[in-house]
Amino acid sequence: MDQLFGNLKGFFKTDFTVIDNNVFRLHYKATVCVLIAFSILVTGRQYIGDPIDCISKDAVPMNLLDTFCWIHTTFSLTDAWHKKVGVQVPYPGVDKYTPGEKRVYHAYYQWVCFVLFLQAVLFYVPRYFWKAVEGGRIKNLILGLNNPILPEEAKENSRKLLVEYLSINLNN
């Protein structure tokens, strides 16, 4: 458990050399964590728990009916949406079907957990590319500027070189 939180602590740690802004950090850290958490939550409910409960009055086994409803689409009746629940209908949209009545089909999305995980990956990919392209240049540029034992004139020379480099490469 301690190792899990240690890994999470490392994920949320900010580097001393900052190469992005707060909004970008929010995208690749907070959004990725939220999407992965929801992906795990949906996966647990979908594949470990009971994702759907279909109503049946026949002698059809409930697990068979639930599996059928999960794989195929089900429908609700538009006329039954506005009837009084508990008196006229057992649930909004659920009523006896007569041929020709308008139906609304509902598909159950088995792929939601995978889509959430894919979105998390896609939110992190720009960070990965940015770090690959940047290659530690900013860290190397400011290497001597934050050293407390470096003499002030050496820091000033490094600062001048850094300003010169940045002004030359401003629009590149």
pTM equals 0.62
What per-residue confidence (pLDDT) applies to 50? 73
Q: Which of 82, 142, 72, 161 is nearest to 108 (CA)?
A: 72
**From its phi and psi, is residue 94 left (phi > 0), alpha (psi between -120 and 50) or beta?**
beta
Q: What is the pLDDT of residues 102-121, one digit of tens each?
A: 998 887 677 888 999 999 99
Closest CA to 84 of 76, 97, 74, 94: 94
Q: Which residues pair with 106 in a beta bridge?
A: 74
The model's pLDDT over 33-90, given as tens digits with 9 standing for 90+, comes to 999 999 999 888 777 777 777 777 778 888 888 888 778 878 889 888 889 998 998 8
Count how many residues are written for the chain: 172
Cβ proximity of 51 and 45 under 8 Å:
yes
